Chains A and B, each alone.
Chain A
Amino acid sequence: MPKQKKRKLGRGVAIVGGAMSYFGMYPDKTSRDLMAEAYTDALETVDKGIDPRDIEALYIGNFTADLFEGQGHLGHIMADWLGLAPRPATRVEGACASSGLAFREAVMAVASGMYDVVLAGGVERMTNAPTENVQDYLAAASDVPFEVDQAAFTFPGLYAAMGTAYMARYGTTREHLMHVAVKNHQNGALNPRAQFNSSLRDIMEQRKKRAEEKGRPIPTWGDEFDFLSDDSVNPAVAEPLHLFDCSPVTDGASCIIVAAEEVAREYTDDLVTVAASAQASAGPFTTWGGDITGIPSARIAGRDAYEMAGVGPEDIDFAEVHDCFTTAEIMAIEDLGFFEPGKGAFGSAEGLTSRDSDRPINVSGGLKSKGHPVGATGVAQLQEVWTQLRGRAGDRQITHKDLRLGLTHNVGGTGGTSAIHILERK
């Protein structure tokens, strides 16, 4: 890994407000409608209130409204619709890391001294497109002439191929992956804004009940693992990944308001600041030197984030990681240094990432259960960590330990882009 010089923000930056829209399937809502929901809810979360006219600029993460709804040039659409034109509005694109990058741009714009208060948002409208088209549009985030035109990869396929390399090297099975799905759905069941607001156990029982009501034979699944092993309800998408290994197709938006630390107390006395903001790039996984069992850009961004915050993985109290697929969460917790390479799958199966563990992973439900409107995901992760650090997460609040440092891990493509942030409660 290339050595980077140690970086720091020009001045302190705090989060003073944030919200996500309800994530799910909303055929009647365009991206601007979703964004307006997240924004108006975010304004309500500012403890001492905020005059929207205090917001000086917008950074909007979006992968491809161009393909999903034929709408490009999204920055000015959002500035206008939120009533904030003529303030400068910039769309930021980094595939599924788009709003992680938008947040980072907002933080740097404030840290530079240019602005005191900036909005970072993210949005994606996805469910109106047919499944095959969704695969095509998401595949635009890969290396198209080689991964798509030559090899006919889909996005689940890319993470599946990485999964097989991992499974072959470390001797893990599909059952290890299932533990990630079971855990994240349990977490999502506590999140009222999650797309899948139910545990896999509940989904299984509902299917049994429906079969009974319709007079069909009642399935004999004993537990979630039985359910997930049944290809008739959990069909293959890209082996070894099945339906419940994949994050869903989702409509949703997210919004955060950041402010210079020196003005932030005008908005709240309950300060959460940005301890680190790091980002790294990489080529497609054929350029990674032969090892595709982890994501190099996430390791590099993680290392840079720890260095910037002056902490190590052992200091992180909880994290929201980019579990677009179950294989991705296992690689994430290793790339971030929470587990040794090859130990993440076993640790997940042992419950070491569950909400009552020493370092809970994806208490929001993760992308897997909360939903993954790709351009909205990065800011939604940050909003969850901010909410948890302030003790305001309701039923899903982590209560068994004090929270001081939370981390977000947001990945675009198969790690072409990684954005990692560490937030600190003051």
Chain B
Amino acid sequence: MDLTVAGYMKELSEHRIAASRCNDCDALYLPPRPICPNCQTRKMSVERLSGEGTVAGLTSISIVPSAMAAKGYGRKNPYVTGVVALKEGPSLTARIELPDDGGEIQSRVGMPVTASFEAEVDGDETRVTLVFQPS
């Protein structure tokens, strides 16, 4: 794969989470990047991650951006998004689907979650986003 934003998105569209590992210092990067900040090397190999991790931080958004308003989200229908620390080490930002049991949002930190791939068709284009569910 290309170590570009488009390369990562193409992997996602094929239901894979791609990362890059530095051949010199072994550090693992998500999204995959072409240059290692640790040692400045450009010798990177691509690895695929499991999509299993834990919630590191999250929020329920009520004042929504226009793209989410167009999908029906808003004050009366907030959505949850957050940061997930994957078991391989790197973390990523993604939507999270939570059971609605009225718990305080911060009580979800540390919850184990698993990734699913959500396809969204917009005209000729299909965009795949990651959405995490409780494991």
Q: What residues make up the interface of A, taking CB atoms closer than 8 Å to B? A: 131-133, 135-136, 139, 145-154, 156-157, 160-165, 167-169, 235-241, 284-286, 290, 292
12 A-B pairs with CB atoms under 8 Å apart are: A150-B92, A150-B130, A157-B59, A160-B61, A164-B58, A165-B56, A167-B106, A168-B106, A235-B75, A236-B75, A239-B59, A285-B83
Any chain A CB within 8 A of the CB of B113? Answer: no
Cross-chain contact of B85 among A139, A240, A290 (Cβ < 8 A): A290
Q: Tell me the dominant secondary structure on chain B's binding face.
A: mixed
Q: In the complex, A372→B5 CA distance in Å?
A: 32
Q: Complex: how many Å from CA A156 to CA B129?
A: 21
Among B62, B66, B91, B129, contact of A150 (Cβ-Cβ < 8 Å): B129
Q: Is B35 an interface residue (CB 8 A)?
A: no
Q: Decide if B64 touches A154 in the complex (CB within 8 Å).
A: yes
| A162 CA to B59 CA, complexed, in Å | 9
Q: Which of A139, A238, A286 contacts B93 (CB 8 A)?
A: A286
Find out whether the CB atom of A286 lies under 8 angstroms from the CB atom of B92: yes
Which residues 58-108 of B sit at the A interface, judged by CB distance below 8 A?
Answer: 58-69, 75, 78-79, 81-83, 85, 89-95, 104-108
| In the assembled complex, B46 has its CB within 8 A of some CB on chain A | no
Query: Nearest 4 pairs between A and B by C-beta?
Result: A168-B109, A160-B59, A165-B57, A151-B93
Chain A residue at minimum C-beta to C-beta distance from B127: A149
Instruction: Write the chain A residue with the least CB distance to B75.
Output: A235
**CB of B134 within 8 Å of the partner chain:** no
Establish whether residues A152 and B105, one from each chain, have CB atoms under 8 Å apart when the complex forms. Answer: no
What residues of B have a CB within 8 angstroms of the CB of A167 in the complex? 106, 109
Q: How far is the CB of B76 from chain A (nearest CB, A)?
A: 11
A136 contacts B65, C-beta separation under 8 Å = yes
Question: How large, as a class, is the contact surface on chain B?
Answer: 35 or more
Residues of B within 8 A of A149 (CB): 127, 129
Which residues of chain A have C-beta atoms less than 8 A from B61's C-beta?
Answer: 152-154, 156-157, 160, 237-238
Contacting residue for B83 out of A148, A152, A286, CB 8 A:
A286
Whether A164 contacts B93 by the Cβ 8 Å rule is no
**Contact A290 to B81, CB < 8 A, known contacts A150-B93, A151-B94, A152-B65:** no
Contacts of B82 in A (CB 8 A): 151, 161, 164
Q: Mark B5-41, 1 if CB is under 8 A from A, else 0.
A: 1000100000000000000000000110000000000
User: Interface residues, chain B, CB within 8 Å of chain A?
Assistant: 5, 9, 30-31, 56-69, 75, 78-79, 81-83, 85, 89-95, 104-110, 127, 129-130
Neighbour of A164 across the interface among B57, B75, B89, B130, CB < 8 A: B57
Contacts of A133 in B (CB 8 A): 66
Instruction: Check A151–B56 contact: CB distance below 8 A.
Output: no
Cβ A286 vs Cβ B62 within 8 A: no
- Taking CB as reference atom, which chain B residue is nearest A283? B37
A238: chain B residues at CB < 8 Å are 59-63
Q: A152-B68, A236-B75 provided; 20 other pairs, C-beta below 8 A?
A: A136-B66, A146-B31, A149-B127, A151-B95, A152-B95, A156-B63, A161-B58, A163-B57, A163-B59, A163-B106, A165-B57, A167-B109, A168-B106, A236-B78, A237-B62, A240-B105, A286-B83, A286-B93, A290-B89, A290-B91
Q: How far is the CA of A241 from the CA of B106 in the complex (A)?
A: 11
Residues of chain B contacted by A135 (CB below 8 angstroms): 63-66
Known contacts A152-B95, A162-B57, A238-B62: A286-B106 contact under CB 8 Å: no
Query: CA A139 – CA B66 in complex, angstroms?
Result: 11
- Measured between beta carbons, the chain A residues less than 8 angstroms from B67 are 136, 152
Query: Please, how many angstroms separate the alpha-carbon atoms of A151 and B132 in the complex?
Result: 11
Cβ contact within 8 Å between A284 and B59: no
Residues of A near B105 (CB, < 8 A) are 160, 164, 239-240
Give every chain B residue within 8 A of A139 (Cβ-Cβ).
65
Q: B135: shortest Cβ distance to chain A, in Å?
A: 18
* Nearest B-chain residue to A162, judged by Cβ: B57
A150 and B94 form a contact (CB under 8 A): yes
Q: How far is the CB of B87 from chain A (nearest CB, A)?
A: 12
- A156 CA / B61 CA spacing, docked (Å): 8
* Complex: A161 Cα to B78 Cα, angstroms: 15
With A151-B94, A152-B79 as given contacts, are A235 and B58 in contact (CB-CB < 8 Å)? no
> Complex Cα distance A46/B73, Å?
51
| Residues of chain A contacted by B85 (CB below 8 angstroms) | 290
From A136, A164, A285, A286, B59 is in contact (CB under 8 Å) with A164
B106-A154 in contact (CB<8A): no
